[in-house]
């Protein structure tokens, strides 16, 4: 069904949505979507940093015992 929608159909849908909701409502909605995407990216970055820190903390010290005493 969606394969049959062309450029004129998409433009018609955009005009109908603009008329129904108004420019202000659509721009505020897009602002909220942008904030959500930014928050999602920030959460992903924080999660990966946390995993890296945990992996570094759990890393074993493979220095032989005789070498540890010399340092």
63 or 34: which leads in pLDDT: 34
Say how far apart CA 30 and CA 37 lie, in whole Å: 11
Q: How many domains does the chain have?
A: 1
Contact 26, 18 (CB under 8 A): yes
Residue 28 within any structural domain of the chain: yes
CA atoms within 13 A on the CB side of 22: 3
Q: What pLDDT shows up at residue 18?
A: 87
Residue 44 within any structural domain of the chain: yes
> Which residues constitute the domain of residue 36?
22-48
51 burial level (CB within 10 Å; 0-12, 13-18, 19+):
exposed
Q: What is the pLDDT of residues 45-57, one digit of tens each?
A: 999 998 888 887 7
26 or 69: which leads in pLDDT: 26
Residue 32 within any structural domain of the chain: yes
Say how far apart CA 54 and CA 24 lie, in whole Å: 45
Q: What is the pLDDT of residues 12-41, one digit of tens each?
A: 998 898 888 888 888 888 899 999 999 999
């Amino acid at each position: 069904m969606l394969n049959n929608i062309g450029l004129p159909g998409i433009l018609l849908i955009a005009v109908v949505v603009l008329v129904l909701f108004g420019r202000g409502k659509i721009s505020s909605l897009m602002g909220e979507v942008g904030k959500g995407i930014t928050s999602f990216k920030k959460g992903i970055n924080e999660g990966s940093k946390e995993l890296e820190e945990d992996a570094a903390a759990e890393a074993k010290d493979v220095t032989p015992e005789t070498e540890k005493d010399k340092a």
